[in-house]
Amino acid sequence: MESSTVRVLLLRTAGTNCDRELALAFQRAGAAVDVVHINRLLAAPGQLGDYHILGFPGGFSYGDDIASGKILANQLVHHLRSPLQQWVRDGKMILGICNGFQVLVKAGMLPGPMPQFDASDIFTATLTHNAQARFEDRWVHLKSQSSLCKWLEPGISMLLPIAHGEGRFTVRDAAVTEALEANDQIVFRYVSEDGTPAKDFPDNPNGSAGAIAGICDITGRILGLMPHPERFIESMQHPYWSRLAATATPDGLQLFENAVKYIHQSMAVSV
């Protein structure tokens, strides 16, 4: 596919409330963005062919009536499995933030199939209620650590906001964590302000296993994370914005710029 612009499709449904923020983040990174209701995509799945990046914004899809992200995940599994599998084979990218991360995990797209397990064994992790049993709305420190992930290189420290009640990343057993480590699929971990691994609340804001804040699949192109990079794309969104260097790129924006750059380089999309 050849195009002059990286094109992003953001899916929304009842309860989605971060789609405009996510759209603005991709636009600031130089992409063209369409926000589409899931029903429109279900009616015409072929439109996926017009896009390079698929995004699942945060919010409370379908009110989280069954479990966070579960209803939308079921729609993906039962109605869009084949088109999404082709999407991944085509080398395209997928991003899920907060509720979008929950959707990708509960659809089995994250962690996804792993070489260490049977090909059909894809539901090895979930996102559940925060350990302290309450909604958390705060800024957290993160560090990227995956060389596999195409969204961001390792070794980057970030400060991003979270806003969730079910963000605790939990694995089925220790073998899953070991596989994620071995595959380089752990993209973000919560850390303390000095960059050391987070152990307890509030550095680990939800009690996630291994302080995991975000993971990718084995292609490195599907990424899910609980913190909100789209909420720090302008310096004045930072809680201490007046102390920042005027030339510093906001922590969240670099994630989107990296993705757009990757598509330009990997899919013959001209700048």
Tokens representing residue 197 in the block: 């691994």
State the catalytic residue, choosing from 136, 230, 238, 257.
230
Alpha helices in 126-250 (DSSP H): 174-182
State the catalytic residue, choosing from 52, 164, 228, 238.
228
Which single residue is written with the structure tokens 């750059």?
A: 261
Q: Are strands 186-191 and 212-216 parallel, antiparallel or unpaired?
A: antiparallel
Q: pLDDT tier at 114 (50, 70, 90 boundaries)?
A: very high
pLDDT in tens, 62-113: 999 889 999 999 999 999 999 999 999 999 999 999 999 999 999 999 999 9
pLDDT in tens, 19-38: 999 999 999 999 999 999 99
pLDDT at position 271 over 50? no
What is the SS3 assignment for 252?
helix
Asked about 228 being catalytic, the answer comes back as yes
pLDDT at position 231 over 80? yes
CATH superfamily of the domain spanning 7-266: Class I glutamine amidotransferase (GATase) domain (3.40.50.880)
Contact 163, 137 (CB under 8 A): yes
Asked about 98 being catalytic, the answer comes back as yes
Asked about 141 being catalytic, the answer comes back as no
User: Kind and range of the H or E element at 35?
Assistant: strand 32-37
* Dihedral sign (CA 178, 182, 186, 189): positive
pLDDT in tens, 127-157: 999 999 999 999 999 999 999 999 999 999 9
pLDDT at 270: 57
Q: At CA 125, angle to CA 123 and CA 127, rounded to 5?
A: 120
State the catalytic residue, choosing from 18, 98, 149, 216.
98
pLDDT in tens, 156-201: 999 999 999 999 999 999 999 999 999 999 999 999 999 999 999 9
* Dihedral sign (CA 126, 130, 135, 139): negative
Q: Where are the domains of the chain?
A: 7-266
What is the SS3 assignment for 183?
coil
- Distance of alpha carbon 240 from alpha carbon 201, whole angstroms: 22
